[in-house]
């Protein structure tokens, strides 16, 4: 199905099932422990052995020997495969680093060997007996130091966020120089880890030249293609299966070492092998959000109109990597005649930087929205009013390109009313509650809507039930449920009459999970397949397919009504189709918006920050399931608290690795850190987006939260911190006098 004109009235608009708050249909499996995650697929293939990956002990240099004699004699050892035993394994198209490294080492904990044994403990113990000899080389591990050598580099995150190396519209330098009111500040954000609860894990099994991987992967079709490329085998000989994924956040968008090394180990062992990346290897072996150094310059007239906007960002990555696209939202979010965005990339010998939930906008809005507050204060204008003054209904760099829908002003205004913004003290450091300094902060949330081809297959059985098959994944986002709701709405059934099968590369290729594109595109693919199935049902039952109603398990037209299941009595009906898009995403800017509000209390004696309450007001197209959408947003808001207050991968700049590479040292928010969250969805159906008229919220809920929190801390204390995370040591010496 080609979607190249705005959606008109269709069966989804009935909203009998779609749009209703529906509990997760996979929830009972998750809560009873019966949802099988990758490492727990004990029953899919017999005689599984256990693998243990050995990571490089150096960040930069050359392996001279990997000595395995003693390890091979250890109890239970089946085989040991090292990177020095074979030609270098090819990289997948989405990988920056080689997933099985050596002899040249690109980063610390790069996989260089795997030990396979009869039990997990035997594999782990034997791995400790492997000796690695190497020659260390000097490395580049300090972004601040290497920033001076950074070069202009453009990038596209592949998730709707991107920018050229340097992009100027109008005359920024002239506009900034002549602006009556100016601000010019530099901010930093740190390296961050995905820290998903489920580790990267794979079971690999060969049957002749055919490979099956039961793995934890967000993008099945991408993974299948890259496994084939890495191993030099035909794509049709590869099968990936990921029905349940315990968190991804972008860290499982692409294949990682667990998948490639498990396949190599299984081939060498001549039996199935299962392995999971140890927690330290998840930080240093997989991808992370790169640190940034960002400079923002704003110029405005005294009445608050922005006349000059510049946002420049420097980040680091391995050679051939990409910069963090932190300036992307600044190209679109606010009006202003003279504009400049620029990105630079410093080459570092740290683990690969890549997509982490809302790449680009997440760290970019942590900075831009603080700069907007700083400018509002210089102007003496309320920060919400300042943002409203500079709202735009068109692409600021291309005024002939309007937004399909843009309700940012409503998000801010309705959020302000609900949050009690009028009780905020404009002067910082004025509100106390005992020993606590109390403040409020606001930020705009922004994230683009990305359109991607997505396919599905639907089957109508003789029992009247419909089965949906698509390689779409569920990373904890509720894909099973919204896909079931879509099929139920289209076929006139209850949600209990729908069976959803996901995550298998033998199914039609869907959009996959990432970039908040999954919900809208995957359900649109199911919609397309159901349109075909409706036509097949009508034809088999003798109806005019252009005028048929599907309701309550009945198919009706012209006063005649037949049970849906009767269409399959002579054999199962199967339909398959995909959604693909025309130019609507080019003629109209499609984005999602939010107003984020945070209230904090900061201990006047210690500088400890406590979040008291949070509110997100979101405009993100049709909300397919308010329950799962709210879960996505509050989870993202929690992630935003982590990024603002505690999350930071500490770099050992001598040796070149992330020191706090486990869940004991890498701090993330817990329930006690998040006392109260509220989410409001504005009513919206975007006909430019898809037949579903939906967009996405999975990353919108994160974008802007860090800035709102930083602004709240400033409002509480009068201390402006421009280096994330905002830990108490950055506050304690600057707090107002307590007596």
Known catalytic residues are 699
Determine how β-strand 573-581 pairs with β-strand 2-3. parallel
- Quick one: which of 358, 367, 397, 363 has its CA closest to 296? 367
- Quick one: which of 551, 555, 514 has its CA closest to 536? 555
Cβ atoms 694, 520 nearer than 8 A = yes
Six token digits for residue 22: 């529906």
Cβ atoms 597, 421 nearer than 8 A = yes
Six token digits for residue 345: 């990339």
Within 301-458, where are the H helices? Answer: 361-379, 383-389, 408-419
Six token digits for residue 598: 């945070």
List the strands of the sheet with 454-460, edge to edge.
2-3, 573-581, 454-460, 466-470, 498-502
CB atoms within 10 A of CB 76: 17
Six token digits for residue 701: 């809920």
* Environment class of 528 (CB within 10 Å of its CB; exposed 0-12, middle 13-18, buried 19+): buried
CB atoms within 10 A of CB 236: 9
Instruction: Give dist(CA 463, CA 496) in Å, integer.
Output: 13
CB atoms within 10 A of CB 34: 10
Instruction: Give dist(CA 136, CA 222) in Å, integer.
Output: 34
Six token digits for residue 658: 């992330």
Instruction: Give dist(CA 342, CA 387) in Å, integer.
Output: 22
- Quick one: which of 94, 117, 439 has its CA closest to 271? 117
* Environment class of 422 (CB within 10 Å of its CB; exposed 0-12, middle 13-18, buried 19+): exposed
Six token digits for residue 586: 């080019």
b/e per residue 363-380 (b: at least 16 CB within 10 A): bbbbbbbbbbbbbbbebe
Determine how β-strand 609-619 pairs with β-strand 591-603. antiparallel
Backbone angles phi, psi at 13, to 5 degrees: -65, -15
Q: How big is the CA angle at 377 (ends 374 and 382), to the nearest 5 degrees? A: 115
Q: Which helix (H) or strand (E) holds 591?
A: strand 591-603
Q: What percent of the residues of the chain are helix, what percent strand, and what percent coil, each to the nearest 5?
A: 30, 30, 45
Backbone angles phi, psi at 82, to 5 degrees: -120, 160
Instruction: Give dist(CA 265, CA 273) in Å, integer.
Output: 7
Instruction: Give dist(CA 227, CA 89) in Å, integer.
Output: 11
Cα distances (Å, whole numbers) of residue 159 to 155, 211, 516, 521, 524? 11, 29, 8, 13, 18
Place of tokens 């693998």: 51
Backbone angles phi, psi at 593, to 5 degrees: -140, 155
């Amino acid at each position: 199905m080609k979607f190249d004109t705005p959606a008109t009235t269709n069966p989804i608009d009935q909203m009998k099932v779609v749009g209703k708050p529906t509990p997760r249909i996979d929830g009972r499996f998750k809560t009873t422990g019966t949802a099988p995650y990758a490492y727990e697929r004990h029953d899919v293939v017999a005689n599984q052995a256990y693998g243990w990956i050995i990571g490089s002990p150096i960040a930069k240099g050359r392996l001279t020997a990997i000595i395995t004699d003693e390890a091979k004699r250890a109890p239970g050892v089946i085989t040991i495969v090292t990177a020095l035993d074979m030609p270098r394994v090819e990289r997948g198209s989405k990988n920056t680093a080689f997933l099985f490294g050596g002899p040249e080492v690109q980063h610390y904990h790069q996989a260089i060997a795997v030990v396979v044994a009869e039990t997990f403990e035997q594999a782990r113990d034997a791995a400790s007996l492997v000796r690695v000899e190497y020659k260390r080389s000097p490395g580049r591990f300090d972004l601040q130091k290497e920033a001076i050598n950074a070069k202009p580099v453009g990038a596209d995150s592949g998730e709707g966020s991107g920018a050229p190396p340097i992009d100027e519209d109008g005359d920024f330098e002239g506009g900034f120089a002549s602006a009556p009111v100016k601000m010019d500040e530099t901010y930093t954000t740190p390296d961050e880890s995905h820290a998903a609860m489920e580790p990267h894990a794979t079971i690999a099994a060969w049957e002749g030249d055919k490979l099956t991987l039961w793995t934890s992967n967000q993008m099945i079709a991408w993974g299948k293609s890259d496994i084939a490329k890495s191993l030099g085998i035909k794509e049709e000989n590869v099968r990936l299966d990921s029905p349940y994924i315990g968190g991804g956040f972008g860290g499982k968008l692409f294949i990682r070492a667990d998948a490639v090394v498990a396949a190599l180990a299984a081939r060498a062992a001549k039996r199935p092998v299962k392995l999971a990346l140890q927690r330290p290897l998840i930080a240093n072996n997989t991808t992370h959000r790169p640190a940034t150094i960002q400079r923002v310059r704003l110029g405005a007239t005294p009445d608050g109109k922005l006349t000059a906007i510049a946002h420049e960002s420097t980040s680091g990555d391995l050679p051939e990597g990409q910069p963090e696209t932190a300036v992307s939202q600044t190209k679109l979010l606010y009006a202003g005649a003279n504009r400049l965005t620029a990105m630079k990339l410093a080459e570092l010998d740290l683990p690969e930087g890549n997509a982490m939930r809302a790449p680009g906008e997440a760290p970019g809005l942590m900075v831009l929205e603080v700069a907007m507050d700083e400018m509002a204060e210089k102007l003496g204008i309320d920060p919400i009013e300042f943002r409203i003054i500079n709202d735009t209904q068109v692409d600021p760099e291309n005024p002939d390109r309007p937004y399909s829908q843009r309700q940012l002003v409503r998000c801010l205004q309705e959020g302000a009313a609900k949050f009690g913004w009028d009780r905020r003290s404009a002067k910082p450091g004025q509100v106390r509650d005992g020993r606590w300094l109390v403040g409020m902060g606001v930020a705009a949330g922004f994230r683009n809507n990305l359109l991607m081809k997505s396919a599905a297959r639907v089957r109508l059985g003789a029992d009247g039930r419909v089965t949906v098959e698509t390689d779409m994944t569920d990373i904890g986002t509720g894909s099973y449920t919204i896909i079931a709701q879509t099929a139920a709405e289209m076929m006139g059934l209850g949600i209990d009459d729908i069976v959803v099968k996901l995550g298998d590369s033998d199914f039609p290729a869907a959009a996959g999970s990432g970039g908040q594109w999954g919900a809208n595109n995957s359900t649109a693919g199911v919609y397309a397949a159901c349109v075909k199935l409706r036509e097949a049902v009508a034809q088999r039952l003798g109806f005019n397919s252009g005028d048929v109603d599907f309701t309550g398990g009945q198919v009706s037209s012209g006063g005649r009504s037949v049970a849906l299941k009767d269409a399959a009595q002579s054999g199962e009906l199967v339909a398959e189709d995909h959604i693909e898009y025309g130019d609507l995403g080019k003629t109209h800017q499609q984005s999602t918006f939010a107003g984020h509000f945070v209230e904090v209390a900061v201990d006047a004696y210690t500088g400890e920050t406590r979040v008291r309450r949070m509110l997100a007001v979101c405009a993100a197209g049709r909300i397919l399931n308010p329950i799962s959408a709210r879960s996505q947003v509050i989870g993202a808001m929690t992630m935003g608290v982590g990024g603002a207050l505690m999350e930071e991968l500490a770099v050992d700049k001598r040796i070149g690795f992330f020191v706090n590479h486990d869940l004991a040292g890498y701090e993330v928010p817990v329930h006690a850190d998040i006392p109260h969250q509220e989410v409001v969805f504005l009513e919206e159906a975007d006909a430019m987006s898809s037949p579903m008229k939906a967009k996405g919220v999975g990353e919108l809920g994160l974008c802007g939260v860090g800035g709102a929190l930083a602004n709240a801390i400033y409002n509480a204390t009068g201390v402006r911190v421009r280096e994330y995370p905002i830990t108490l040591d950055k506050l304690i010496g600057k707090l107002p006098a307590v007596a």
